[in-house]
Structure 1
Amino acid sequence: MSGAGAGAPVDPWLMAKLVCPVTRTPLRWDDARGVLVSDAAGLAYPVRDGVPVLLLREASPI
């Protein structure tokens, strides 16, 4: 499936609907870092207890 790796802690149905709050482009799961990545914005968003934290202030540059 596009956008979600095998180890993604986010539900696949939700993962298919998530977009970057900055660029509105799809996010992808980075299994090595354990974050959701917006390639277009160059940002990584954390996932805490299976819940994506899509706040700009919580994002880190990649």
Structure 2
Amino acid sequence: MKIPDFMMDEALIAREHLLESIAEFNDELMMLVLEGEDVPSELIKKAIRRGTIHHGFIPVLCGSSLK
């Protein structure tokens, strides 16, 4: 799904906060964040899973549906 241009700045800030929050659960992700490198989505998923399993945080997902 493409992020609309008018929301891109907000989305990048939110992604940065996410990466900072989950970096402590994956050393490879931590190094990529510290070096300013791009973080692959698969690595983000692994860090979220590990953080959830170790009770480091609780992910909250939002959504909607149409009938």
Q: TM-score, normalised by structure 1?
A: 0.28
- Which of the two has greater helix per residue? 2
Q: TM-score, normalised by structure 2?
A: 0.27
